[in-house]
């Protein structure tokens, strides 16, 4: 069914569940692949700079946030790549998905109710509305 999946991850339990589901969606685990994308927004970027000595430490600390997901993919023998992007998470994920060829985009949901989603503009809500490929939201 799906051979090339984009997994939006932030290191939360929701994104770990999304990773488990992305693995099950792969049609052929030998030839399929999952691209893990972690998006750093402005406030996270400022905080990272203030709390770390250099850019190497910052990159490593960001990778640590998604290490459980990357380990899961490795132990499942899934071909995968990891990329860090910068910008508004919803818009950045959509832009990346629309500018590359993915069969499906998998993202975890924080579980905002309708009012919270309208006021806060949840990332998964933005992604579903604007992505050109199929999107699966994992609760």
What residue ranges define each of the domains in the chain, with the CATH number in brackets? Answer: 4-137 (3.40.50.620)
Pairing of strands 33-40, 79-86: parallel
Does position 45 have pLDDT exceeding 50, yes or no? no
Structure tokens at 64: 């640590």
How far is 53 from 59, CA to CA, in rounded Å? 11
Tens of pLDDT, residue by residue over 75-116, are: 999 999 999 999 999 999 999 999 999 999 999 987 555 554
């Amino acid at each position: 069914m799906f051979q090339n999946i984009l997994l939006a991850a932030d290191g939360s339990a929701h994104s770990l569940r999304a990773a488990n589901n992305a693995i099950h969606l792969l049609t052929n685990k030998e030839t399929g692949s999952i691209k893990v994308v972690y998006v750093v927004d402005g406030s996270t970027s400022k905080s990272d700079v203030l709390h770390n000595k250099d850019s190497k430490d910052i990159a490593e600390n960001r990778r640590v946030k998604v290490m459980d997901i990357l380990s899961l993919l490795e132990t499942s023998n899934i071909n995968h790549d990891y990329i860090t992007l910068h910008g508004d998470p919803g818009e950045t994920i959509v832009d990346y998905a629309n500018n590359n060829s993915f069969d499906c985009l998998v993202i975890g949901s924080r579980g905002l109710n309708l009012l919270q989603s309208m006021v806060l503009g949840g990332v998964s809500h933005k992604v579903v509305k604007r992505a050109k490929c199929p999107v699966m939201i994992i609760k």
